[in-house]
Amino acid sequence: MGNRHIPRSQVHDWIDDIDANKATHKAAINYLLTSQRGLSRFVATQAGQVAVGSRRKILFIQGAILRVFDLASGKIGKVTRERIAEAEERIAAVAGDMLPLDDGFASRVRTVEWRAQAHLVDELLMSLFDDDELDARELAKLFFLMWVVVEAVDAVWKPGADFEGETEYEYVHIEE
């Protein structure tokens, strides 16, 4: 684990607000996406492996992840290719243990103790797996890609002095 966890309720509230008020967050998300060109190129390259309809969703989710870090305060450094490779390597080492995409998938992901921003990963699990538009294979690709984004961004994020994150992770279920 890198930084302290952004609290689950805060992550959920911000994601809901970003989704409900896209226009309000659009300028900040566009800035964050363009300021992270290396990460955006990586995501775009990987998005080439998923269905065309999912690419727009991927861009929005990547922007929402960056925006959550932005809203949590502090500074997001440049995500380098090395940081992305480190995140890919760590996740690839456990990805096989997470599969198949069955009812136990989310629980298996939650057992990975070193996850950066575990509450944000939980939010990804909740929002992606409630999506009926994507088949299981696309969901897996999208989830693992966005998990890489979370890990890589957390590695370069320096929370503000006023950030009061959580040192311990405990799963919190949030009903929609």
135-157 CB burial, b ≥16 within 10 A, e <16: eeebbbbbbbbbbbbbbbbbbbb
Statement: residue 166 has pLDDT above 90: yes
Q: Determine contact, residues 126/174, Cβ cutoff 8 Å.
A: yes
* Residue 32: per-residue pLDDT: 97
The pair of structure tokens assigned to 39 is 């990460």
Domain, as residue range, for 113: 8-157
Statement: residue 1 has pLDDT above 60: no
- Give the model confidence (pLDDT) of 73-89 as tens digits: 999 999 999 999 999 99
| pLDDT band, residue 49 (cuts 50/70/90) | low
Cα(59)–Cα(26) distance, integer angstroms? 12
* Residue 53: per-residue pLDDT: 62
For the whole prediction, is pTM greater than 0.85? yes
* Arithmetic mean of pLDDT, 26-55: 87
For the chain, how many structural domains are there in total? 1
Q: Determine contact, residues 174/8, Cβ cutoff 8 Å.
A: yes
Instruction: Look at residue 171 and tell me if it is in a domain.
Output: no
- Over its C-alpha atoms, the chain yields an Rg (Å, rounded) of 15
Instruction: Look at residue 41 and tell me if it is in a domain.
Output: yes
Statement: residue 54 has pLDDT above 80: no
- Size (the chain), residues: 176
| Separation in Å, CA 161 to CA 61, 67, 70, 142, 154 | 27, 18, 14, 33, 16
Instruction: Look at residue 176 and tell me if it is in a domain.
Output: no
Helices 136-156 and 37-47: crossing angle, nearest 10°?
Answer: 170
The pair of structure tokens assigned to 170 is 């405990």
Cα(121)–Cα(150) distance, integer angstroms? 7
Instruction: Look at residue 56 and tell me if it is in a domain.
Output: yes
* Residue 139: per-residue pLDDT: 82
% the chain with pLDDT above 70: 92
Instruction: Look at residue 52 and tell me if it is in a domain.
Output: yes
Cα(73)–Cα(119) distance, integer angstroms? 16
Instruction: Look at residue 60 and tell me if it is in a domain.
Output: yes
